[in-house]
Amino acid sequence: MTRPDPTPRPIDRLPLCGDPAAIALRDRAGTLSFTELEMEVGRLACWLKAQGLNPGDRVASWLPKTRTACLMPLAAPRAGLVHVPINPVLKRQQVAHILADSGARLLLTQAGRIAALEPGDVPATTQVHEEAAARSDEALAPSSADPDDLAAILYTSGSTGRPKGVMLSHANLWLGAVSVSHYLRIGPEDRVLAVLPLSFDYGQNQLFSTWHAGGCVIPLDYLTARDVVKAVDRFEATTLAGVPPLWVQLLDADWGVGANRLRRLTNSGGALTPRLVRALRERFPRARLYPMYGLTEAFRSTYLDPELVDDHPDSIGRAIPFAEIMVVRPDGSRAAPDEPGELVHAGPLVAQGYWQDPERTAQRFRPAPGFAESGGMAVWSGDTVVVAPDGLLRFVGRDDEMIKSAGNRISPTEIEEAVLSGGEVSEAAAFGIPDDRLGQSILVVARAADADAVATEAALRERLRRELPGFMQPSHYDWRDALPRNANGKLDRSALKAEIGQGHGS
């Protein structure tokens, strides 16, 4: 492949890519060509500009995947405003926090959602409008914004505390679109089924990267895995992105011939286990599988070339275009091959920090290591990885989640992969809990593949005694009918950790 163009541009120029007559968006309201998409972005931007807002003001959207929700990420920056997308599954308390924290001057939503808000949820300085009113006969021309200008604030949950807003520039969003469309090899013939929330960094990027490549986006709000299967069939989708819990559900679904339609599967929001990789390769034999690793603070860091997936199912791959990825020792020097270290991401995809939170910004955004080629600020991920002699990276675990038992540092990811590898368990999350003798012992919260949890646990313990050393053996199991999800559909480790902490006195 040729190298992608590293020149950043205003993000609102993306609809100009592709054949002007080609279909850019297909939704419940019909279709939009690229020419029509450009016009609709301009009209929504014109309406926003007419609401008496100042350049740089934040405007929030709290919407399902309507047409307006798909246009706002481009229309707000075109109007010189900063877009704050709010996940539609969030409740009024979380919405109130995001509106207050971002200082949003306008909220675009729906009548039913407005009715769900209570007095005090919306700041007095915030206008509230129904999306149906956001119309203009005039269209605003593409902007000439400085690529370093702030374009969006995406709120992301951390392991502790309330959601924090990650500040993204036009350049961050533009180069993320160029990078992803390049390494995924998206083309004008592709039809991307967008099931991830548009408030999620990769969910939003599905719009940008597809339109940059001249492809068609099909936004879908789904209730069950069957809805996704039917949509792949109906729209002849070629590309589907998901998070591991969704892949588990889709593997349990009845696909029929639809599984052969997909040409590209992309994963985010958590590492795929080798067992899940094998299952996806078997179920979708014609699809190229792209495991990826990323964090909102730098959007995306690595991907694994599909040609390497079968031989390296536990790898997160190499750096994506425009990213410099380093494995760093605690003293700031470069880790040797096969030596665990912290993943540090430098380069133009690094965000501008956390909105109005200098303390947490200083913790995560720090100067790049002295040996970095990019220089400037880097994202210190807190994730432990190792790099093999061939340059492929493998995820080990998060520093703040590592289990410390009897003097051993144990990766919860490694425990989870071992638990899942035999097929007795459908989903699992491992945690360290207080233990007077060991410091911490290992608890696994899991959903059994069969209804008989007692028999499942007996079989699982017997297998793990054969496959894991003594210090890595889980001491306790907590069997659930379902594991909690966060707003982006990921396994909600924070919620589970809070429950576990209350139950075990930590």
Whether residues 187 and 323 fall in one domain: no
Phi-psi region of 414 (alpha: psi -120 to 50; beta: other; left: phi over 0): alpha
Whether residues 391 and 429 fall in one domain: no
Whether residues 65 and 154 fall in one domain: yes
pLDDT bracket for residue 405 (50, 70, 90) = confident
3-state DSSP helix/strand/coil percent for the chain, to nearest 5? 35, 25, 40
Q: Evaluate whether 250 touches 229 at the Cβ level (below 8 Å).
A: yes
- Quick one: average pLDDT of 332-336? 97
Q: Which residue has the higher pLDDT, 243 or 205?
A: 205
Whether residues 434 and 324 fall in one domain: no
Q: What pLDDT, on a 0 to 100 scale, did the predictor assign at position 494?
A: 84
Render the burial of 250-273: b for 16+ CB within 10 Å, e for the rest.
bbebebeebbebbbbbbbbbbbbb
CATH of the domain at 387: 2.30.38.10
Q: Evaluate whether 488 touches 197 at the Cβ level (below 8 Å).
A: yes
Instruction: Count other C-beta atoms under 10 Å from residue 357's C-beta.
Output: 17
Instruction: Count other C-beta atoms under 10 Å from residue 450's C-beta.
Output: 12
Q: What pLDDT, on a 0 to 100 scale, did the predictor assign at position 160?
A: 42
What does the pLDDT look like over 369-401, one tens digit per residue? 999 999 899 999 999 999 999 999 999 887 667
Whether residues 154 and 188 fall in one domain: yes
Residue at a domain's end among 373, 397, 421: 397
Q: What pLDDT, on a 0 to 100 scale, did the predictor assign at position 16?
A: 66
Render the burial of 36-45: b for 16+ CB within 10 Å, e for the rest.
bbbebbbbbb
Has residue 70 been placed in a domain? Answer: yes
Q: Which domain holds residue 56?
A: 11-221
Res. 128: pLDDT tops 90: yes
Q: Evaluate whether 256 touches 217 at the Cβ level (below 8 Å).
A: no
Rg (CA), the chain: 23
Count of all residues that appear for the chain in the document: 506
CATH of the domain at 34: 3.40.50.12780
Has residue 115 been placed in a domain? Answer: yes
Please provide residue 450's backbone torsions phi and psi, each rounded to the nearest 5 degrees.
-115, 165
Residue 193: closest CA among 65, 283, 62, 18 = 65
Has residue 455 been placed in a domain? Answer: yes
Least confident span in 40-49, 99-108, 398-407, 413-422 = 398-407
CATH of the domain at 468: 3.30.300.30
Has residue 305 been placed in a domain? Answer: no
| Cα maximum dimension of the chain | 71
pLDDT bracket for residue 35 (50, 70, 90) = very high
Supply the mean pLDDT for the chain. Answer: 92
Res. 404: pLDDT tops 70: yes
Res. 157: pLDDT tops 70: no
Q: Which residue has the higher pLDDT, 76 or 488?
A: 76
Q: Show the tokens assigned to 268.
A: 């985010």
Q: Which pairs with CB-CB distance under 8 Å and at least 24 residues apart come from 93-101?
A: 93/121, 94/163, 94/487, 95/62, 95/121, 96/120, 96/121, 96/122, 97/162, 97/163, 98/60, 98/155, 98/163, 98/165, 99/60, 99/123, 99/126, 101/155, 101/162, 101/165, 101/355, 101/356
Quote the number of domains for the chain. 3
- Quick one: average pLDDT of 90-103? 92
Whether residues 128 and 204 fall in one domain: yes
Has residue 308 been placed in a domain? Answer: no
Has residue 294 been placed in a domain? Answer: no
Q: Evaluate whether 135 touches 141 at the Cβ level (below 8 Å).
A: no
Res. 268: pLDDT tops 90: no
Looking at the chain, the whole-number percentage of residues with pLDDT higher than 90 is: 77
Residue at a domain's end among 166, 186, 221: 221
- Quick one: average pLDDT of 219-239? 96
What does the pLDDT look like over 203-221, one tens digit per residue? 999 999 999 999 999 999 9
- Quick one: average pLDDT of 234-252? 92
Alpha-helical segments (H) within 296-381: 306-309, 358-364
What does the pLDDT look like over 17-34, one tens digit per residue? 679 999 999 999 999 999
Whether residues 424 and 350 fall in one domain: no
In order of 284, 341, 357, 395, 429, the CA distances from 383 in angstroms are 30, 8, 21, 8, 17
Whether residues 26 and 78 fall in one domain: yes
In order of 59, 479, 487, the CA distances from 167 in angstroms are 14, 39, 19
CA 342 – CA 327 distance, rounded (Å): 5
CA dihedral (47, 51, 55, 59) positive or negative? negative
Residue at a domain's end among 197, 221, 245: 221
Whether residues 365 and 438 fall in one domain: no
Has residue 156 been placed in a domain? Answer: yes
CA dihedral (117, 484, 345, 200) positive or negative? negative
Whether residues 185 and 82 fall in one domain: yes
Q: Evaluate whether 217 touches 242 at the Cβ level (below 8 Å).
A: no
Has residue 296 been placed in a domain? Answer: no
Q: What pLDDT, on a 0 to 100 scale, did the predictor assign at position 506?
A: 47
Q: Give counts: helices (H), strands (E), the chain.
A: 14, 26
3-class secondary structure, 108: strand
This prediction's pTM: 0.86
Whether residues 82 and 117 fall in one domain: yes
Q: Evaluate whether 384 touches 357 at the Cβ level (below 8 Å).
A: no
Res. 413: pLDDT tops 80: yes
Q: Show the tokens assigned to 335.
A: 């880790």
Looking at the chain, the whole-number percentage of residues with pLDDT higher than 70 is: 96
Using alpha carbons only, give the angle 15, 266, 445 rounded to the nearest 5 degrees: 130
Residue 130: closest CA among 152, 110, 116 = 110
| Partners of residue 229 on adjacent β-strands | none
CA 270 – CA 304 distance, rounded (Å): 14
Whether residues 331 and 190 fall in one domain: no
pLDDT bracket for residue 159 (50, 70, 90) = very low
